[in-house]
Structure 1
């Protein structure tokens, strides 16, 4: 940027910042930012515009590092991309108007516009690209975590494990269920595994096929599989669809399934009375 314009901006930095804050304050009323206190919003916005002004003479590498750090922090705060894009557009507008008030000649105003655009446009492009990439990475990591949690295998007794399934089962999730099931029964040395479908709202042909495949795969590694949580409406659907579960042990509840699993491992539940041996 022209050294004279840069010096002028720096000398009047606080005035420019305050004008910009007046323009950008409306962004703080968006639903996505209402949970942020006014003070935090103002402090972060002030830091944002100071960052833009003070880094104008930095190398591209240093500017990139500083902008990336700021982007990462507002992503963690959950602020929308519009805060960056609209905020920078408002800053461009404020700078244009403020400088043009001091330069009345048309040629000078055109030069100012070009100088400001060459200054602001690369910052917008960089921050949008970094924000988008970071957000996609965050979403990807969250998706992976949810997938891990969507098919947990829980050891409940020695050699007995339970996999509770909740929500809709699609092809991707069915593959994850199969992977976790096979890895888990080997890791926990399970003799019996219970697949609990109490929380699965709909069991159609595809879902039943995936569950049967999982049960067959478990059997091939030497573990017995029970399907539990078959509600009356699910049982009726299975019958109407003509799905054959005759070769798989099924129970209507996790409680009954655990009792059967204990019997399969030569154990039983014994009721005792408090103080019986006294």
Structure 2
């Protein structure tokens, strides 16, 4: 932006900011109205315009831009807030500079347009890049966290661990299940692993293949694997598809699978009846033979 025009904008920044805030407020989106207070919206707008003026004064400073972009992501505001806000700022600034000048010729008008674009375009580029970069980074962290939670291995007692699966199993998740199973068997010194598919909505040929592979891998490292949570509809699907689970023990519920796991580890569930009263109470206890 030419020095003279830049000076006009900076010297009249308060007036330009007020005009910009009024225009931006008139375009306030419905999602901001329902999820954001007026105070937060106004304070964020003022921070936004401060970022713009700081950028022009310091010629490309990124510190404020990075901080502001991260704040918008935390608030959950869309990228359109940045692009729309800067487009409005561009129009307001151009109109203000033209209104303060006696020149109305085409050359001056073109000079103002080019100068304001030279100022605003780098800010748009930097803000959009920082916003998308920060968003992708956050998504990457969330994806990793979700993957870790999507195939947990839970030790419940000595030698017995459970992996509850919920949701659809695709190739990427199947790979994670395999890795977690093998690492968990070694880490927890597991003798039996229960894979609970109660929360898996569909078991097709691919899902069954992945589960069989995981069970075989567990067997190769010296542990047993039991597939639990076989609902009637899942059992019918497995039969109709001709899936062979002969080498993979299955149980209809986690409880039955756990009892089998106790037997494999030379333990069992017994019932203890209190001797002092006639009320029979079931108490589950683990007793080594």
Larger CA deviation: 8-17 vs 39-48: 8-17
Q: Size of the alignment, in residue pairs? A: 275
Structure 2 partner of 1:6: 6
**Secondary structure class of the residue paired with 1:225:** strand
Cα displacement (A) at 1:270:
2.1
Q: Give ranges in structure 1 of 5+ residues lacking alignment.
A: none
Structure 1 partner of 2:104: 105
Structure 2 partner of 1:77: 75
Structure 1 contact 32–80 (Cα < 8 Å) conserved: no
Structure 1 partner of 2:280: none
Structure 2 contact 153–161 (Cα < 8 Å) conserved: yes
Cα displacement (A) at 1:58:
0.8
Cα displacement (A) at 1:248:
1.3
Partners of 1:36 and 1:52 in 2: how far apart?
A: 22
Structure 1 partner of 2:88: 90
Structure 2 contact 55–123 (Cα < 8 Å) conserved: no
Cα displacement (A) at 1:5:
2.6
- The answer to whether 1:188 aligns with 2:191 is no
How do 1:127-138 residues align onto structure 2 when only pairs under 5 Å count?
127-138=127-138
- The answer to whether 1:248 aligns with 2:248 is yes
Cα displacement (A) at 1:27:
4.7
Larger CA deviation: 251-260 vs 63-72: 63-72
Structure 2 partner of 1:260: 260
How do 1:122-161 residues align onto structure 2 when only pairs under 5 Å count?
122-161=122-161
Q: Which whole-Å deviations, capped at 9, do the CAs of 1:101-149 have from their partners, x for residues lacking one?
A: 1123223222211111100001101111121111111111111111111
Q: Which whole-Å deviations, capped at 9, do the CAs of 1:28-50 have from their partners, x for residues lacking one?
A: 32426631211111101111112
Partners of 2:130 and 2:145 in 1: how far apart?
A: 23
Q: Which whole-Å deviations, capped at 9, do the CAs of 1:197-228 have from their partners, x for residues lacking one?
A: 00111111111000000000000000000000
Structure 1 contact 154–161 (Cα < 8 Å) conserved: yes
Cα displacement (A) at 1:85:
0.6
Q: Give ranges in structure 2 of 5+ residues lacking alignment.
A: 278-289
Structure 2 partner of 1:53: 53
Structure 1 contact 27–83 (Cα < 8 Å) conserved: no
Partners of 1:262 and 1:33 in 2: how far apart?
A: 57
Q: Which whole-Å deviations, capped at 9, do the CAs of 1:211-269 have from their partners, x for residues lacking one?
A: 00000000000000000000011001111111111111100000000011111111112
Instruction: State TM-score, norm by structure 1.
Output: 0.94
Partners of 1:178 and 1:163 in 2: how far apart?
A: 11
